Amino acid sequence: MDKPDPSSVPVSSNFGATSRSLPIALLRARERIMVPIREMLQQSGISEQQWRILRVLDEADGMEQTAIAHAACLQLPSLTRILKSMEADGLVARKTDEADRRRTVVTITAEGRSLIARHRARNAEIFATIEAEFGREKLDLLLDLLDELQQTRI
């Protein structure tokens, strides 16, 4: 449980070379992490995308959509539609910037913040578990490597 001993790896999950494929490895790791998070979010009936948007806005409210899309890793067309339903659900509010009427400023509502607050404890618990099982140093190392990879010029 401490070392990635190859002999301890179940033979049934032998994926050959694809297991060393970076895109697939990133995908598999993410799917693994998202299981408990999706379970958590299902109680509020919001998607993981909506959760990302709320967290981004909670950190820096009053953002333009392009900035949100970048921060939450969403395509602008997707964001347009997601925000539309989130606005209808009263989680966010949108208003056009009067100085530059192309821009739209999105703010999180009290209800949006309340939703985040309701899940904060469980969210922290999930990641505390990951940290405990996986190890804090390795987690930090992984985050560093991911951040670096994302900034790599390809």
Partner DNA sequence: ACATAATGGTTGACATAGCAACTAATATTA
Partner DNA sequence: TAATATTAGTTGCTATGTCAACCATTATGT
What is the closest distance, in whole angstroms, from the C-beta atom of residue 124 to DNA in the complex?
A: 21
Q: Return d(Cα 28, Cα 43) in angstroms, integer.
A: 24
What is the closest distance, in whole angstroms, from the C-beta atom of residue 34 to a second copy in the complex?
A: 6
Residue 38 binding target from DNA, a second copy, none, CB below 5 to 8 Å by type: DNA
Q: Is 23 in the site for DNA (CB under 7 A)?
A: no
Q: Is 44 in the site for DNA (CB under 7 A)?
A: no
Q: Is 11 in the site for a second copy (CB under 8 A)?
A: yes
State the DSSP code for 144: H
Q: Is 102 in the site for a second copy (CB under 8 A)?
A: no
3-class SS letters over the chain: CCCCCHHHCCHHHCCHHHHHCHHHHHHHHHHHHHHHHHHHHHCCCCCHHHHHHHHHHHHCCCEEHHHHHHHHCCCHHHHHHHHHHHHHCCCEEEEECCCCCCCEEEEECHHHHHHHHHHHHHHHHHHHHHHHHHCHHHHHHHHHHHHHHHHCCC
Residue 150 binding target from a second copy, DNA, none, CB below 5 to 8 Å by type: a second copy
Residue 22 binding target from a second copy, DNA, none, CB below 5 to 8 Å by type: a second copy
For 82, the token pair is 């997601």
Q: Is 29 in the site for a second copy (CB under 8 A)?
A: yes
Q: Is 32 in the site for DNA (CB under 7 A)?
A: no
Residues in 48-67 at the binding interface with DNA, rule: CB under 7 A: 49-50, 64-66
- Give the footprint of a second copy on this chain (CB under 8 A): 3-4, 8-37, 48, 52, 55-56, 59-62, 67, 70-73, 126-127, 129-130, 133-134, 138-139, 141-154
